A and B are shown apart, each in its own frame.
Chain A
Amino acid sequence: MIQLIAFYLFAVMVVGSAALTIFARNPVHSVLWLILAFFNAAGLMLLAGAEFIAMLLIIVYVGAVAVLFLFVVMMLDIDFAELRSGFARYAPLGVLLIVVLAAEMIFAVGAWSAGSLALSQRIAPTPDEIPNIQALGTLIYTRYLFIFEAAGLVLLVAMIGAIVLTHRARGGVRVQNVWQQNKRRPQDAVRNINQPVGQGVEL
């Protein structure tokens, strides 16, 4: 019973906040609604028994992706009036997309009720006795090791790409030089003098 209530709560919140993401007039509000949608999607994942995915949604999507969205929204200087002026022009295309998405949904529901999802013949059925984060761990780092390392390379390319495309060397950057700092001895920096009374300090 409580599962059902939780499911409908999360589901309604996801759909509602997703709709508000689109309809919010202010893009910053859109991003905030999106974050709410992510949180509720994480709740749905918990209900489905995928705790690790739920945690990933919070850490990666809410913690990093949504923040990046906010940066992008802030970086672009968007004129909202101009943005809205194309609405009538693009409305037919939007309607078309809605029709396609609706057809997909009807199809998905149809397929689901036909009951042909062959989850039982999976090669690696979800074990019930261990938490799924552990189940994932035992697979990712051994059986799927090759893909895992390739995923590391994908991340590396993302990093190189971001640096190649946006980094420029700037003048006036004061870089910390650890070697210089450690090499410095008291006698290089400190001077003991016997200061005579009544005279200025010689610097």
Chain B
Amino acid sequence: MRTFLSAVTFFSALYMPIWIFMLLALGLSVRYRAWEVICVAFIIDCLYLPIGGIFGLPFLTTLIAATFVWGLEPLRNRFVFR
């Protein structure tokens, strides 16, 4: 299931609107310690974000993805691992 969702997340990053990627990333982050979400977000930044970033923030999507994955750690611990 995780591999399938990760593959869909990767394809959504390349061919679908960003909100679909965000929803999938959020879903994966809630259920798993999904390091692949950060990887895909990094690819999005490399593909579409100019090197200077946006609003002075380089790697914005990677930062958002890392926030999802690490920020949801307490919730995962509470509901998934116990």
A binds B: no
Residues of B within 8 A of A (CB): none
